[in-house]
């Protein structure tokens, strides 16, 4: 062998050794990366939840969607919370309370171990500030809860008194996040409802802190280690946005996410058959409805035929609620009727002789008698003035069920001569149409929509929506009635449930007859979540075994799921075992590779010396 050949042999052996060692190093690095992404017992644990409705704002005085309220409750405590099992009042920021004999002064004891997430202590002054700030600035988003409160006063660091002009029925069930005075006192009332964004990291005192929001992608919350109730079991929760709910369901099956909110009805049954997943057909404090623009104002851009109660009643008779439930919602709902959901003790069920049922003949009769004729003979009615009658009808893109229902409704109302122009749009676009302004003048620019309401345990919020005070606020159908408004004041001041129930029933009956909504269904909350790798999921409310349970993933009343869910023992053991096995395999590969390389190098040397 020549010198050149001997050098080449040595170089080849060294190169092979280098490549083997480099490849081994890559395997080791890959294992380190895998170990970092797979939670070990002492590693960071991330809970990934998919949803199809992004929050619209982190500011409690601007955001209006249920997702907003759930995030606020994760980031901020309420004064009084809700028990997971029954949704009855339970201590949260307040540890106890008492009321004066006349029912007009409440004294709350505030816990002394609360801390804002920037380290500042939480005191009774923050509580007093929150309620006074809402009332003094007339902040409509939360004033439906604080209505009737005249002032709040901090007696000392742990005692706050709340004064009311009359007994206040919902004072222990107010969905009001308590805000840090040292931050919000610098925000003007005008900015609070217009420009203040409340950007992450959002300083609250709740079990989690919102630390990142990439709009259109995800929102991330980190566990609060100083929470008075103890740090949550998961280190972070990531809510991932999906524009396609079918993709969300597939990702849950693949393990990309750990839970999915608002699973499509068509996917729900199949998810329930997947090993390691639970599919929960949950009771839900929601109803879906056709909303009609009843704003009786020259600035309204809605179609004036909707101001006619008879026309609205005809719409109610012209839709088939049974088909909405069976076809659009795959049976995962009950037929809708009145304003308060059937799970509430305040639900009113219309008598059979008043109940809107599918009766197109009756709808046609009402429209004919009211003067809406088909003059042109094209199958569609004209207005009383002889103009073409066509209504804009919107559904939001986050609900396949409502989109299907919308298409059915177009056909049913066509059969009674009402023409609808159906359009699916983003929820934000519908909100923009509802809160449209011409300059500084409120000018709602829509006719009809199909959407849903999620409501509180106490009926006060839902009932107060349809009052003049909530025009340009929560009143989305823009209907009001003097008798209804007067009754709302009465029920809000009646603490005794037995005396309050008949008043609430009467209000629901007035609303039902006026028909600003066609309440279609009470949908179930369809959700699915990983039970193989996570444990500690909490139903809200938690009913008896064998009965239909409450929601696990989506409830702004109670956030115990996110406080207590944790990686399962089996998942931790599997992850640890898997990582250990992989390390052993790599070590063996390293030893074999090194021995092979050394032998090859020695052989090359031996050949060189022989030659």
Scanning 416-559, the segments in alpha helix (DSSP H) are 427-434, 460-464, 482-492, 497-514
Residues 140 and 13 in one domain: no
Q: Which pLDDT tens digit goes with each residue over 510-520?
A: 999 999 999 99
Q: What is the pLDDT at residue 548?
A: 79
Cβ atoms within 10 Å, residue 52: 23
For 195-240, what is each residue's pLDDT tens digit? Answer: 999 999 999 999 999 999 999 999 999 999 999 999 999 999 999 9
Question: Do residues 25 and 100 both lie within one domain?
Answer: no
| Residue pLDDT, tens place only, 146-188 | 999 999 999 999 999 999 999 999 999 999 999 999 999 999 9
Same domain as 93, residue 19: no
Q: What is the CATH number of the domain that holds 487?
A: 3.10.105.10
Task: Please report whether residue 238 resides in a domain.
Answer: no
In a domain, 80, yes or no: yes
502 and 599 together in one domain: no
Among 483, 500, 484, which Cα is nearest to 492's? 500
Same domain, 7 and 92: no
- Structural domains in the chain (count): 3
Q: Are residues 593 and 500 in the same domain?
A: no
Is 552 domain-assigned?
no
Whether 109 and 21 share a structural domain: no
Question: What HEC string does 391-450 produce?
Answer: EEEEEECCCHHHHHHHHHHHHHHHCCCCEEEEEEECHHHHHHHHCCEECCEECCCCCEEE
Whether residues 583 and 518 fall in one domain: no
pLDDT higher than 60, residue 586: no
pLDDT band at 573 (very low <50, low <70, confident <90, very high): low
Q: Is 179 helix (H, G, I), strand (E, B) or coil?
A: coil
Residues 515 and 586 in one domain: no
**Predicted confidence (pLDDT) per residue in 94-110, tens digit:** 999 999 999 999 999 99
pTM above 0.85, yes or no: no
Tell me if 465 is assigned to some domain: yes
Q: 272 or 48, which is more confident? A: 48
Enclosing domain of residue 189: 76-196
What secondary structure letter does DSSP report for 117?
A: T
Boundary of a domain, candidates 180, 196, 212: 196
Identify whether residues 332 and 469 lie together within a single domain. yes
The bridge status of strand 149-156 relative to strand 419-425 is unpaired
Considering the domain architecture, whether residues 131 and 13 belong to the same structural domain is answered as no
Q: Rg of the Cα trace of the chain?
A: 31
Note the pLDDT tens digit of each residue in 29-47. Answer: 444 333 333 444 457 899 9
- Looking at residue 571, its pLDDT comes to 65
In a domain? residue 241 = no
Q: Single out the residue in 161, 196, 231 at which a domain terminates.
A: 196
- The residue among 167, 196, 225 that closes a domain is 196
Helix (H, G, I), strand (E, B), or coil: what is residue 361?
helix
**CATH number, residue 94:** 3.90.76.10
Measured between alpha carbons, how far is 82 from 324 in angstroms, rounded to an integer? 32
Asked whether residue 19 falls in the same domain as residue 145, the answer is: no
């Amino acid at each position: 062998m020549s010198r050149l050949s001997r050098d080449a042999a040595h170089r080849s052996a060294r190169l092979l050794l280098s490549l083997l060692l480099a490849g081994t190093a890559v395997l080791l690095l890959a294992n380190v990366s895998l170990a970092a992404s797979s939670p070990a017992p002492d590693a960071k644990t991330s809970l990934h939840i998919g949803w199809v409705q992004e929050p619209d704002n982190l500011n409690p005085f601007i955001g209006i969607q249920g997702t907003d309220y759930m995030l606020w409750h994760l980031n901020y405590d309420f004064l009084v919370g809700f028990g997971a099992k029954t949704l009855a009042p339970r201590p949260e920021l307040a540890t106890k309370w008492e009321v004066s004999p006349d029912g007009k002064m409440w004294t709350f004891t505030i816990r002394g171990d609360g801390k804002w997430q920037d380290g500042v202590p939480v005191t009774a002054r923050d509580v007093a500030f929150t309620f006074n700030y809402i009332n003094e600035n007339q902040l409509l988003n939360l004033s439906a809860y604080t209505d009737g409160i005249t002032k709040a006063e901090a007696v000392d660091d742990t005692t706050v008194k709340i004064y009311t002009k009359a007994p206040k029925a919902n004072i222990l069930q107010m969905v009001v996040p308590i805000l840090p005075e040292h931050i919000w006192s610098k925000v003007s009332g005008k900015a609070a409802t217009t420009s203040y964004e409340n950007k992450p990291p959002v300083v609250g005192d709740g079990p989690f802190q919102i630390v990142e929001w990439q709009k259109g992608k995800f929102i991330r919350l980190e566990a609060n280690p100083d929470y008075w109730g103890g740090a949550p079991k998961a280190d972070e929760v990531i809510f991932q946005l999906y524009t396609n709910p079918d993709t969300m369901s597939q990702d849950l099956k693949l393990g990309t996410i750990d839970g999915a909110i608002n699973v499509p009805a068509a996917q729900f049954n199949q998810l329930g058959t997947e090993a390691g997943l639970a599919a929960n057909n949950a009771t839900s404090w929601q109803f879906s409805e056709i909303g009609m623009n009843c704003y009786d104002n020259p600035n309204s851009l809605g179609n004036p035929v909707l101001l006619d109660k008879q026309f609205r009643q005809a719409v109610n008779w012209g839709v088939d609620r049974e088909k909405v439930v069976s076809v659009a919602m795959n049976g995962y709902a009950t037929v809708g009727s009145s304003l308060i959901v059937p799970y509430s003790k305040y639900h009113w069920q219309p008598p059979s002789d008043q109940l809107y049922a599918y009766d197109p003949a009756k709808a046609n009769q009402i429209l004919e008698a009211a003067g809406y004729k088909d003059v042109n003979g094209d199958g569609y009615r004209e207005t009383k003035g002889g103009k073409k009658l066509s209504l804009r009808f919107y559904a939001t893109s986050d609900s396949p069920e409502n989109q299907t229902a919308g298409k059915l409704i177009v056909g049913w109302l066509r059969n009674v001569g009402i023409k609808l122009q159906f359009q699916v749009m983003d929820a934000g676009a519908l909100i923009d149409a509802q809160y449209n302004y011409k300059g500084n003048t409120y000018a709602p620019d829509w006719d009809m929509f199909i959407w849903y309401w999620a409501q509180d345990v106490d009926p006060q919020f839902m009932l107060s929506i349809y009052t003049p005070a909530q025009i340009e606020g929560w009143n989305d159908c823009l209907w009001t009635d003097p008798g209804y408004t007067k009754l709302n004041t009465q029920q809000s001041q009646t603490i005794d449930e037995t005396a309050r129930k008949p008043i609430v029933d009467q209000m629901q009956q007035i609303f039902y007859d006026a028909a600003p909504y066609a309440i279609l269904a009470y949908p179930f909350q369809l959700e699915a979540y990983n039970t193989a790798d996570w444990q500690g999921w909490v139903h809200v409310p938690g009913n008896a075994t064998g009965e239909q349970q409450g929601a696990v993933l989506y409830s702004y009343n109670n956030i115990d799921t996110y406080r207590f869910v944790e990686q399962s023992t089996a998942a931790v053991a599997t992850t640890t075992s898997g990582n250990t096995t992989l390390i052993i395999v790599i070590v063996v590969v390293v030893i074999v590779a090194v021995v092979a390389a050394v032998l090859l190098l020695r052989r090359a040397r031996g050949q060189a010396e022989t030659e």
